[in-house]
Amino acid sequence: MSEEGMEETNLSGSSDKIEREAPQLVTVLKDIKGGLDDLRAKVQVLTSKVKLGLYPTADGISYLEAKHLLLLNYCQSLVYYLLRKAKGLPIQGHPLVHSLLETRLFLEKIRPIDKKLQYQIQKLTRLTGNSMEDAVSDDKKPDATREADDSLKLRPNPDMLMNKVTPDDGDGKYRPPKIAPASMDESKSSRQERNVSRKEKQAFRQALQSEYARDLMNDLEGRPEEVRLPLLYLLFSVVREVVGTEDRDVTRYKAKMEERARREEELFTRAPLTSMEKKKLKHMRKSRNGLLGLADSFYDDIKSLPLEEGVGGQTASFMEDSNAGERKFKKHKVCNSYFFIRSLEGIRDLNSEATNKAA
Amino acid sequence: MADTKAVTIRTRKFTTNRLLSRKQFVIDVLHPGRPNVSKAELKEKLGRIYDVKDPNSIFVFKFKTHFGGGKSTGFGLIYDSVEIAKKYEPKYRLVRNGLDTKIEKSRKQMKERKNRSKKIRGVKKTKAGDAAKKKK
């Protein structure tokens, strides 16, 4: 209120405005003067009383002491600010602004503490007010009962509890009971947006598993490169990708074991292999050398070829058996490799027939 | 003869553990063509790499060879001094390094003693009781 007036006085070059605002300024200044006079009178009364020793000011609530100091500091800074403005001195780089801001910030921060302590402080002030009255009016009351009164008045009051489950709210509207704290979903994304984001995350995870990404990671971590000759290369002199020759189960098993190894390294311990895990490891090493996986998609290729009766018939029966649900047979997949080799022989015979015919 | 083949040691996840005053890391040993590298050889090599004054303060353990051979992974610790190592390391690793001796306890004797003490209840001295019952 008065600060506006001060700022307007600082505006040089607009004398019309000053003339307009001048009466307002005068009234505002009168208000200030009146307020300050009142304040001075009250403060002088208080200080005289304290000097006389009527109010014991020691052992107060330290929080309130701190708050008083902060408020005083703020008022002083404000007054100095007004003074500087009134004299027309600049304020720009002055540390005053900084201290004003700081104090203001502190006051804002302690406001929630204030609120929490409010109940207790009120209780205490009411109590002291009552006790002062009692002391003045009724000196006959013995000290013990007075203290008992005081402490009893400080106990929790169950009547003051708010009813959480309010059946009737007056309007006739139904309001659900607020029993458990409910968190607000601040993101507020619709179902489609969430689905899209989920799909993106999934795609990202899958991309990380690709070979290119794995090569990048190996490079970054400085792991030495591993070159393992695929078994097909040894059999047919055909160079294929290492990953392609292993079947799904083996790659998954390897991924699991790698994850396990990573965790072990992180925790600097080793988890012992259980007997089931040992059995699986043995199975993976001995009976599944990467060759079995080839049989998985092989029948799609050879279904259309005219092979020997025996092989074709056997493959048909094998497929039918597996479709009928002999899971145990399919699980170990030992016989798959047998049929694979038989069918390869069939192809070889076909090839030799073709070359003979050509020749 | 096996020593002529190259052995490469790489350390990963190197951290300095100030609480236990030691350096800990994961060791990757590449030994193509060799079955396995002995712990003594590994300690000697690590001592050379990290300029350790006392090779007795190096501990390597939990080595596992990867499938196909040629590569093994394990853990390693280098303590600041042998006294600190004696304070923090478990007994079996100190025995492996030669800093401690193993107490040979006869399992049979211990079990017999336990079974004898099962018959007596309370604070009675089982030792004297053992001797007496043995004589019987």
The sheet with strand B8-17 has its strands ordered as B8-17, B22-30, B71-79, B58-65
The pLDDT of residue A260 is 92
Q: Which residues of B touch A265 (CB under 8 A)?
A: 12-13, 26, 73
Tell me which of A331-335, B110-114, B123-127 is least confident.
A331-335
Tell me the two tokens of residue B73: 């992974």
Chain position carrying tokens 């923090």: B88
Q: How far apart are the first and last CA of chain A?
A: 112
The rounded distance, in Å, linking the Cα atoms of B82 and B58 is: 9
Asked if residue B96 has pLDDT above 70, the reply is yes
Q: Which residues of B touch A221 (CB under 8 A)?
A: 12
A281: Cβ contacts below 8 Å, ≥ 6 apart: A273
Asked whether the beta carbons of residue A265 and residue B68 sit closer than 8 angstroms, the reply is no
Q: What type of residue is A278?
A: K
The pLDDT of residue A135 is 58
Chain position carrying tokens 């030994």: B31
Alpha helices in chain A (DSSP H): 2-10, 15-52, 62-87, 95-137, 143-153, 191-208, 211-221, 231-236, 242-245, 248-267, 275-286, 298-302, 309-324, 327-332, 334-358
What would the DSSP string read from start to end of B28-80? Answer: EEE-TT-S---HHHHHHHHHHHHT-S-GGGEEEEEEEEPTTSSEEEEEEEEES
Backbone angles phi, psi at A12, to 5 degrees: -90, 150
The pLDDT of residue B29 is 94
As averages over each run of 10 residues, the pLDDT of chain A (359 residues) reads 49 66 84 90 89 72 86 89 83 84 90 85 79 58 55 71 65 77 74 90 84 80 65 45 58 86 89 91 73 53 55 42 45 57 72 71
CA distances (Å), origin A137, targets A56, A111, A153, A173? 20, 37, 20, 51
The pLDDT of residue A147 is 57
Query: Do residues A333 and A283 lie in contact, with contact meaning Cβ atoms separated by under 8 Å?
Result: no
Share of chain B above pLDDT 90, in %: 65
Among B60, B26, B28, smallest CA distance to B43 is for: B60
- Selected residues 234-273 of chain A with any CB under 8 Å from a CB in chain B: 261, 265-266, 268-270
Q: How far apart are the first and last CA of chain B?
A: 62
For residue A161, the SS3 value is coil
Pick the more confident residue, B108 or A335: B108
Banded model confidence at residue B24, pLDDT cuts 50, 70, 90: very high
Q: Which residues of B touch A224 (CB under 8 A)?
A: 10, 28, 30
CA distances (Å), origin A116, targets A112, A182, A267? 6, 22, 45
Backbone angles phi, psi at B72, to 5 degrees: -135, 155
Q: What pTM did the predictor assign?
A: 0.41
The rounded distance, in Å, linking the Cα atoms of A334 and A345 is: 18
Asked if residue B110 has pLDDT above 50, the reply is yes
The rounded distance, in Å, linking the Cα atoms of A283 and A289 is: 10
**Helices B126-135 and B107-119: crossing angle, nearest 10°?**
100
Asked whether the beta carbons of residue A266 and residue B68 sit closer than 8 angstroms, the reply is no
The pLDDT of residue A281 is 85
Asked whether the beta carbons of residue A268 and residue B73 sit closer than 8 angstroms, the reply is no
Q: Which residues of A touch B26 (CB under 8 A)?
A: 265, 268
The pLDDT of residue A275 is 95
- Selected residues 279-338 of chain A with any CB under 8 Å from a CB in chain B: 285
For residue A111, the SS3 value is helix
Tell me the two tokens of residue B110: 């211990």
Query: Do residues B108 and A301 lie in contact, with contact meaning Cβ atoms separated by under 8 Å?
Result: no
Q: Which one of B10, B12, B62 has the shortest CB-CB distance to A270?
A: B62
The rounded distance, in Å, linking the Cα atoms of B74 and A261 is: 11
Q: CB contact, 8 Å: B67 with chain A?
A: yes
For B13, the enclosing helix (H) or strand (E) is: strand B8-17
Asked if residue B3 has pLDDT above 60, the reply is no
B37: Cβ contacts below 8 Å, ≥ 6 apart: B7, B29, B31, B72
Contacts 24+ apart (CB under 8 A), B87-93: B88/B20, B88/B22, B89/B59, B93/B59, B93/B61
Among B21, B4, B24, smallest CA distance to B75 is for: B24
**Helices A95-137 and A62-87: crossing angle, nearest 10°?**
130
DSSP A198: H
Asked whether the beta carbons of residue A269 and residue B62 sit closer than 8 angstroms, the reply is yes
